[in-house]
């Protein structure tokens, strides 16, 4: 072999190794890590007691006895406790006529609390942020809310900015997905995700049952999350993203209309929750599980489920009345912890039944719903915070997140715990009190007498004092 042939052969080998090295190096930089997160806890003067909730309902002159009974039943069965938070305009008695400033100030209060704390905890200055993703579904401002953050923290001029609205309770994972995709093509980046909901301009003061239900469930909250793909920060990270799957059923009319903002017959804007919502959520949930299960479960579990499903289908076709229970996939073979959206007690119960989860698995979601209510897209992070505060999260554990949102959407992802975690975060002052001895709601004891009232004679005197 002459020298030219040897040189060309060596050059080919070198180029081959260089290409392999570049592919491996690129894959190393494509990882998405959470450095830290900070949930928002409003001040105690915004806390909703049972008595004050009764006062807010009494102030709504559009409600009658039947609406009172409906709200009582909804609140008692909601799983929400007495320490959740509402926007300030409710405490000022202006829920029927909120101002533009109410929505802005509600968001500013959250931004300055959680983002400040996050930068302080991580010791990372705002000037190092490369990507900003903000998701506030029901408040659109000009300039955008992301611009308010950029202005307040004086972020860089070349920052990549994404301002999401209308994504609903599933927006957190959509924001994470945006960051994940950016990390796949750009190295050494820091991203800030800010997730919350503005309740101030969206409080419903009418009497449509499908719309007043939202007032019972949604509460103030939010979370700021710092993510990176920098290799030198890998050892400081809390979680590593393994996979993320998004499912959108907006093409189905029933799914699209089951969870939607609209006006009632008196032109009052509110958030309509349709009777088809459980069915739409189930369909989206099943389709999402079909997509993500092969990515997170071991082959043996996938084979077991496939074989049992085939046997069940064949027997059902042959015997017609075959009544054996449909086989269930066991997510616990690939998942250690379940971080569920706190959409309500029925949502948590439904997911628990469909996935055959234990009360231990459901405890973080139940306690989050009880302590903070449904904080929309940020609720997942309060659930994660509960797990961390209870010292459940150990290095190597897998955490499965799942959320639902208007559209109708179901998004899920799997995180790997990078190191043992024990920060109490937003649960710092109350984690020792959870789980409480009972989750029984005091509304029934205080307002149960409404059940015995006659609609034809019932009225609330103007001087009536809430007990």
Catalytically active residues are 169, 248, 337, 341, 370, 374
Those residues with Cβ within 8 angstroms of residue 316's Cβ, 6 or more apart along the chain or in another chain: 322
Biggest CA–CA distance in the chain, Å, is 108
Those residues with Cβ within 8 angstroms of residue 299's Cβ, 6 or more apart along the chain or in another chain: none
Those residues with Cβ within 8 angstroms of residue 305's Cβ, 6 or more apart along the chain or in another chain: 327, 329, 330
Residue 452 burial (C-beta neighbours within 10 Å; 0-12, 13-18, 19+): exposed
From residue 325, alpha-carbon distances to 290, 309, 316, 340 in Å are: 19, 10, 11, 25
Q: Contact at 8 Å (CB) between 165 and 206?
A: no
Task: Read off the tokens for 16.
Answer: 């081959």
Task: Read off the tokens for 449.
Answer: 């007498």
Unique residue bearing structure tokens 């809310």: 145
Unique residue bearing structure tokens 């959409």: 343
């Amino acid at each position: 072999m002459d020298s030219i042939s040897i040189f060309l052969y060596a050059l080919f080998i070198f180029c081959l190794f260089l290409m392999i090295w570049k592919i491996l190096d690129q894959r190393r930089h494509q990882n998405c890590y959470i450095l830290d997160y900070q949930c928002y806890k409003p001040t105690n003067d915004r806390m909703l007691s049972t008595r004050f909730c009764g006062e807010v309902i009494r102030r709504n002159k559009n409600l009658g006895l039947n609406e009172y009974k409906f709200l009582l039943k909804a609140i008692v069965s909601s799983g929400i406790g007495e320490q959740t938070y509402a926007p300030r305009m409710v405490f000022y008695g202006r829920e029927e006529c909120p101002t533009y400033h109410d929505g802005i100030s509600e968001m500013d209060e959250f931004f300055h609390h959680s983002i400040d704390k996050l930068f302080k905890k991580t010791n990372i200055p705002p000037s190092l942020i490369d990507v900003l993703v903000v998701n506030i579904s029901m408040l659109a401002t000009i300039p955008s809310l992301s611009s308010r953050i950029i202005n307040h923290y004086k972020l860089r001029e070349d920052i990549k900015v994404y301002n999401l609205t209308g994504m609903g309770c599933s927006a957190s994972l959509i924001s994470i997905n945006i960051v994940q995709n950016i990390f796949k093509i750009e190295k050494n980046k820091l991203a800030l995700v800010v997730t919350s909901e503005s309740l101030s301009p969206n409080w419903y003061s009418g009497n449509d049952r499908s719309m007043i239900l939202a007032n019972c469930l949604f509460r103030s909250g939010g979370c700021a999350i710092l993510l990176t793909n920098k290799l030198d920060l890998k050892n400081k990270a809390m979680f590593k993203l393994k996979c993320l799957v998004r499912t959108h059923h907006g093409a189905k009319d029933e799914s699209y209309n089951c969870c939607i903002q609209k006006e009632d017959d008196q032109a009052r804007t509110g958030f309509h929750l349709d009777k088809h919502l459980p069915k739409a959520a189930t369909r989206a949930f099943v389709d999402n599980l079909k997509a993500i299960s092969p990515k997170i479960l071991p082959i043996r579990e996938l084979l077991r489920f496939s074989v049992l499903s085939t046997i069940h289908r064949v027997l059902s076709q042959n015997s017609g009345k075959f009544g054996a229970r449909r086989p269930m996939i066991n997510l616990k073979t690939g998942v250690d912890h379940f971080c569920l959206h706190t959409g309500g007690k029925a949502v948590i119960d439904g997911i628990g039944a469909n996935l055959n989860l234990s009360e231990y698995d459901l405890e973080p979601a139940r306690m989050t719903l009880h302590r903070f209510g449904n904080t929309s897209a940020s609720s997942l992070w309060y659930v994660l915070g509960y797990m961390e505060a209870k010292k459940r999260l150990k290095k190597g554990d897998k955490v499965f997140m799942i959320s639902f949102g208007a559209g109708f959407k179901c998004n899920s992802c799997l995180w790997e715990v990078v190191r043992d975690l024990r920060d109490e975060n937003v649960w710092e002052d109350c984690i020792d009190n959870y789980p409480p001895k009972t989750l029984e709601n005091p509304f029934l004891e205080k307002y149960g007498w409404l059940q015995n009232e006659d609609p034809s004679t019932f009225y609330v005197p103007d001087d009536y004092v809430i007990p």
